[in-house]
Structure 1
Amino acid sequence: MIQKKLGSYKASLSLIKTGHYVFGTTHCSHNSTNRNLASAISIRNCPLRWYSTESSPALASNPIETMKSSDYNTRHKNRFGGGWLWLIPAVTLGLGIWQVQRLQWKLHLIDQAQSRIHQIPRVLSCESAKATVPSRDQFTRVTVTGTFLHDKEIMVGPRVFHADTSQDQGGGILGGGKPDIGYFIFTPMVIAESTVGAENAIVLINRGWIPKDECDRPHRKAITGLVTVDGVIRDGEPCGKLQSWTISNKPEKGEWYSIDLEKISQWTGSLPIIVQMVSDSPINQKFSPNNGQPYRPKVHAKLRNNHMEYAITWFGLCAVSTLMLASKKRIFRKR
């Protein structure tokens, strides 16, 4: 048996010397034909991959070192790349925490705005109206005394409104109750100033919503004389680049599709302030729909609040990226 193995070993060495075959994946020393018995037996465990050659080029100087160097470069590259990839869960985790903080801040603003709605109204004079900033003072409860300018009245719409629930549904988002299509009435009001010689100020009063079939009715009652209304300060709607899908307003045709406060105030000559009349005030009872006046929606502190969805998204990306990198690390270690 041993003699047969020695014979096979010598035959292999002769093939190598003639240049017709070379070893493949494993490097085996063949400098001497005088091998001991252990070397002769171990040749069986040395896998050969045969390649036919035209010439007899020298074998690689040290293929094992070459393999080690290649393996080191691969490991070093993977470690370097993997380290940078761990920034993904770190950054997404930070963004998720930031959105949670933004959510708390927005909820505080909503609570603050809701409390303003139910406060005792303060008198909006000419001086205080000029100092009012809608974005800062939004939902502040005020009372205004003055005279309506019906000749400068505008209608914004069409808007869907649920008369059964007295809720404005914006530009067509249906909800509960019976929806109707109509317009919101904005009438400028000249504030009555008690101070002699003081310059008058004009503000916009959102009187409420009317159905579409009543827009052109001549018998729609106009409010004359000095009146007092109770409402809250409101800002306009985002226009321009933020709402590029919205149809542009056409003041010269009397078509207003969005509450562009800047353009409306320029067209009517009023300050950029909107006072939305509330529906739960005794002062406004004389302006009820039963008396031919517009429907007044209930005022709610509606502020854009998507921070919870954003936080869930970022935390989800953090979890997924962490699991992917952890599984990649385990697979790399097994190799």
Structure 2
Amino acid sequence: MSRALFLIIIGLGGAAILVSLGIWQMQRLAWKQGVIADIEARIVAAPVVLPQNPDPEADAYLPVSVSGRFVGETKRVLVSQKTIGAGYRLITGMETDQERILIDRGFVPIDADLAIVTEELVSVTGNLQWPQETDSFTPAPDLENNIWFARDVPALAEALQTRPILIVARDLSADDGAVTPLPVDTSRIPNDHLQYAITWFSLAAIWLAMSFLFFLRRRRGQSAES
């Protein structure tokens, strides 16, 4: 096999691999967009009664309605809002006629007083969620100052003596003071496949250009020698 043919094979073969990776990412993009569209449709669907034993996978984002009374302490989870800055998500236990569950009531700025929890019967409409916000780098909760650094549903449930079921409120029947609900949406679902596809296609173009230039230089070098 001549060196020229070898260079052509390497150039075209490498570009073909990179293009195929780009096409695969485009296929993944279409799949992810479909998943996100399904989740968005589910989030805004008509709420249903809270299942007796909701499943973290099958019932994620399920819209539900519950009624009960807030009980116990309120835990503060440190978060940040783009237009406001640092603040807290307020997580409070709710006693329904059957069980105790967790309610993510929403957001208050960091310098706001802890909102007073109503003792009235409250109806909450929201979505079930089991956020994956913890990893090996997540600090342990600052229990003395009541500051948590992630919505760790099992840990919050243990601390507030509830079942590990979290409803992220989007609507409450009672006035909740300065608390602003932060309803569930799809903004946190990663979807970087388009950027990956552009990267692979760009690398394929660069690979072809470099292979072509290298081939031309070798041809010129061989012509000069002859």
Aligned-pair CA distance for 1:269: 3.4
Could you report, residue by residue, the CA deviation over 1:119-156 in whole angstroms, capped at 9, with x for unpaired residues? 1100104x1xx2321x44332211012332233x2100
Corresponding residue for residue 15 of structure 2? 89
Corresponding residue for residue 327 of structure 1? 213
How far apart in 1 are the matches of 2:198 and 2:112?
46
* Residue pair 2:169, 2:183 contacting (<8 A) in 1 also: no
Matched, 1:144 2:66: yes
How far apart in 2 are the matches of 1:238 and 1:252?
18
How far apart in 1 are the matches of 2:5 and 2:133?
48
Aligned-pair CA distance for 1:314: 0.8
How far apart in 2 are the matches of 1:265 and 1:323?
58
Corresponding residue for residue 239 of structure 1? 134
* Residue pair 1:145, 1:191 contacting (<8 A) in 2 also: yes
* Residue pair 1:139, 1:301 contacting (<8 A) in 2 also: no
Could you report, residue by residue, the CA deviation over 1:34-74 in whole angstroms, capped at 9, with x for unpaired residues? xxxxxxxxxxxxxxxxxxxxxxxxxxxxxxxxxxxxxx9xx
Matched, 1:258 2:128: no
Corresponding residue for residue 221 of structure 1? 116
Q: Of 174, 185, 205, which residue of structure 2 is paired with 1:286?
A: 174
Identity %: 26
Give the TM-score of the pair, scaled to structure 2: 0.82
Matched, 1:295 2:177: no
Corresponding residue for residue 204 of structure 1? 102
**Between Structure 1 and Structure 2, which shows a larger proportion of strand residues?**
2
Aligned-pair CA distance for 1:320: 0.8
How far apart in 1 are the matches of 2:174 and 2:143?
33
How far apart in 2 are the matches of 1:86 and 1:266?
59
Q: Of 117, 124, 140, which residue of structure 1 is paired with 2:50?
A: 124
Aligned residue-pair number: 219
How far apart in 2 are the matches of 1:309 and 1:271?
40
Give the TM-score of the pair, scaled to structure 1: 0.58
Aligned-pair CA distance for 1:98: 1.4
Q: Of 76, 86, 100, which residue of structure 2 is paired with 1:155?
A: 76
1:35-114 counterparts in 2 under 5 A?
A: 75-76=2-3, 80=6, 83-84=9-10, 86-114=12-40
* Residue pair 1:89, 1:322 contacting (<8 A) in 2 also: yes
- Call closer, same or farther: CA 1:271–1:98 in 2, change over 3 Å: farther
- Call closer, same or farther: CA 1:265–1:81 in 2, change over 3 Å: farther
How far apart in 1 are the matches of 2:201 and 2:116?
56
Could you report, residue by residue, the CA deviation over 1:231-255 in whole angstroms, capped at 9, with x for unpaired residues? 01223143214xx3x5x03254332
- Call closer, same or farther: CA 1:96–1:214 in 2, change over 3 Å: same
**Greater relative contact order: 1 or 2 (C-alpha under 8 angstroms, separation 6 or more)?**
2
- Call closer, same or farther: CA 1:274–1:87 in 2, change over 3 Å: farther
Q: Counterpart of 2:113 in structure 1: which amino acid?
A: C
Q: Give the greater-gyration-radius structure (CA).
A: 1
Could you report, residue by residue, the CA deviation over 1:185-223 in whole angstroms, capped at 9, with x for unpaired residues? 001223323xxxxxx3x321110112333335xxx4322
SS at match of 2:26: helix
* Residue pair 1:209, 1:294 contacting (<8 A) in 2 also: yes
Corresponding residue for residue 160 of structure 2? 268
Aligned-pair CA distance for 1:85: 5.5
How far apart in 1 are the matches of 2:215 and 2:21?
25
Corresponding residue for residue 230 of structure 1? 125
How far apart in 1 are the matches of 2:213 and 2:19?
19
SS at match of 1:214: coil
